[in-house]
Amino acid sequence: MKNKIIRGIGVSPSIAMGKAFLYTPKEIILSSKRKKGKIEEEIKLFEKARCLSLRQLRKLKLELKKMKDVQTPRLIDVQLLFLQDPLFLNSVEKRMRNGKESAEEAIINFAKGLEKDFLNIPNSYIAERYSDVKDVISRLLRNLREEEDASLEEFGEIGVAESFTASSVLELSKLGVKGIVSEGGGRTSHFVILAEALGVSTVVGANGITNEIETGDEIIVDGISGVVIIRPDEDTKRRFERKREEAIAIQKEFLEKKFLPATTIDGFSIDISANIELPVEIPLIKEYGAKGVGLLRTEYLFLTSKGIPSEEEQYNFYVKIAESVFPDYVIMRTLDLGGDKVFKMKMQEENPFLGWRGIRFTLSNEEIFRAQLRAMLRASAKGNVRILIPMVSQIEEILRVRELTEKIKKELKEEGILFDENIEIGAMVEIPSVPLMADFFSEVVDFFSLGTNDLTQYTLAVDRGNKKISYLFDQLDPAVITLMKMTVEKAHHNNKWVGVCGDVASDLVALPILLGMEVDELSLPLAFIPQVKEVIRGLSLKECKELLKNIEGKKSAREVREMLKEEILRRFPSFKNILVEVEND
């Protein structure tokens, strides 16, 4: 069938076209048939494979450092740290010595334990980190078995896979691959960050793609709108070729204007800031014209440290970012993990997506939370740090955060440590109870940040990672728009400001209604900032408000999108090809 369409998440502002190939890395075979040697021989074999893996990864890191404009070699550090982690080394050695396991069996059994932990993770961010662990274990086993990774014997221009790893993306890029499509992964996946740095067009979350495509099929990867077209007809190829050429020209034009403010034609200004996670992204904040950081995810520190990161380790990371963006601000989100991976927990939750994560977890682990709050407060001395609390559902949760923060402020004063006494504390709007109770929440928070990914998930009861129901997930569903609007109206009525840090902030079609609500800030992935600023400069607040009123009569996300698309094309006729849509034949 021509023009078979798979929709996913576009994570790069570019388009690639060409012959596809199914990238199928050799799956880790978690069983061992090798005859076991003596204990010392097995230990020696393990160490040989580990040292070879370390050398390969260090070489990979050096290659990344040599590549112009690529600032991502530290992504490999996660795997290097794993191979040197005392917990891993001691566990494997203990299995070989006391458990009488072979080197291969010891690695496999350790890996099975990890896999079990990760499968129970209710957090997509953490699940994405498992790909790094899986990648390094696969490398270690291949080296121990003296196997070659034959997955790249046959390749084309567009790689399609269940998922990729940072190292596989680097290898594919060196082979000239122009685009990648994966069923798994998300905006914060390390392979996505690397693909963006390498200029590889990328779509993730393309459910079902590996069942629909065969090696050699022609394919279009639209990293702008998150659409993948399999076996496009000639007319579609011509339209997307025009879109690709215009996207390159427009992106170049956008980058030239990246430092202009995001102000509508009738004078309404809005802050455009960056969502970041990794230290390597710090230099890019100003490079893309962002006004500071609207969302700093702090989970990276906890997942790459050998244990719980100390207050000092966290402070050094936070203060580096605060100083690099000064006088602009940085909004630091407190730990948004469950008690699943970083902190071993014996109890398995029956419904982890509705369970013990975010503020629910940190409030019940005060020692960990206290160290993080102290580090953030110490980094706030210049007055440009704000604290954001995730997974809030109850007002009492914010009251407890404030109570703990005041105690820490008192301690810091007694210790003579400088901090911002008026530091703002905000709540993520992810659970519908917050918009519904926004008047009351406004009494205890300084600002709100709309986390539209989770807000959509919890409002529509849709897991977008579930292939059978992901088609129901749309952040422009009228019900989600109603909750966003309710939050903004109630917050402004109580003199509080509202930002947006979910994916909807980088959706060009959604910008008119976000402006119509008069949100105060948009925070989005770095690469999308120039184009979002450009679109805002071409809109009028007055017309956006009228459009929002008209949207209120729409009954479905599809109706909303069609109406908004017409409005964007009326304002930006040159986007005709950028917003091109195709239908299945």
pLDDT score, position 467: 66
Q: Are the beta carbons of 174 and 198 closer than 8 angstroms?
A: no
Q: Is 190 among the residues known to form the active site?
A: yes
Between CA 175 and CA 27 the distance in angstroms is 21
Query: Which residue do the tokens 């961010």 mark?
Result: 125
Q: What percent of the chain has pLDDT over 90?
A: 43
pLDDT score, position 28: 60
Marked catalytic residue, from 190, 492, 493, 544: 190
Marked catalytic residue, from 51, 492, 493, 501: 501
3-state secondary structure of 348: coil
90 has a pLDDT exceeding 90:
no
Q: Enter the DSSP assignment of 335.
A: P
Q: 218-222 and 227-230: which strand pairing?
A: antiparallel
What secondary structure does DSSP assign to 180-210, as a single string? EEESS--TT-HHHHHHHHHT-EEEE--TTHH
3-state secondary structure of 221: strand
Stretch 485-502: mean pLDDT, rounded? 97
pTM assigned to the model: 0.73
298 has a pLDDT exceeding 50:
yes
Between 205-209, 453-457, 541-545, the lowest mean confidence (pLDDT) is in 205-209
* Helix residue spans in 288-394 (DSSP H): 299-304, 311-325, 359-363, 366-378
Phi, psi of 201 (to 5 degrees): -65, 135
Residues present in the chain in total: 585
Quick: pLDDT tens for 548-575. Answer: 999 988 999 999 999 998 888 888 877 7
Q: Is 492 among the residues known to form the active site?
A: no
Q: Enter the DSSP assignment of 510.
A: G
pLDDT score, position 527: 80
pLDDT score, position 390: 96
Q: What percent of the chain has pLDDT over 70?
A: 85
Quick: pLDDT tens for 383-419. Answer: 999 999 999 999 999 999 999 999 999 999 999 999 9
pLDDT score, position 339: 43
Maximum CA pair distance of the chain? 78
